[in-house]
Amino acid sequence: MDKHEWYLVPEPAEEGKVEKRTVGGKSICLILSDKQLYATGAKCPHAGADLSRGWCEAGKLVCPYHRHKFDIVTGKGDPDQGNYIRTYPVKKEDNRWYVGIPKSWWAGWF
Ligand code: FES
């Protein structure tokens, strides 16, 4: 059984620009980098800044407040930060992008 609910999302208008969308009830940053879409959480774990106001640089999402950096593939923060953000799976079907949001653990019970 697929553990994710897949949601259709629009492709960001520009490479490297961070766009925020609500997907499956979650605030998510969408980033197009080298024609691949990445989806991450939108809240910085450091002090709660909105990461969609940041930017993407060399495969990292940079927080606009104190410049913490997060890998857009793994969500891992730079080593000296000791933090991370959530990332979500992405797939392309029929030329459209979908983001996978994990289903609730009890969803399969009913
Ligand atoms: S709030 Fe993001 S680096 Fe401080």
If you write DSSP's letter for every residue of 13-72 in order, what string do you get?
SSTT-EEEEEETTEEEEEEEETTEEEEEESB-TTT--BGGGSEEETTEEEPTTT--EEET
| Ligand 1 center to 58 CA (angstroms) | 18
Grade residue 104 by pLDDT with cuts at 50, 70 and 90: confident
Fold classification of 4-94 (topology level) = Rieske Iron-sulfur Protein (2.102.10)
With a pLDDT cut of 90, the percent of the chain lying above it is 86
pTM exceeding the 0.85 threshold for the entire prediction: yes
Q: With a 6 A CB cut-off, is 63 part of the ligand 1 pocket?
A: yes
pLDDT exceeds 90 at position 66: yes
pLDDT above 90 (res 108): no
Q: Whose CA is nearest to atom 3 of ligand 1?
A: 66
The pLDDT value recorded for residue 29 is 98
Report how far ligand 1's centroid is from the alpha carbon of 109 (Å). 38
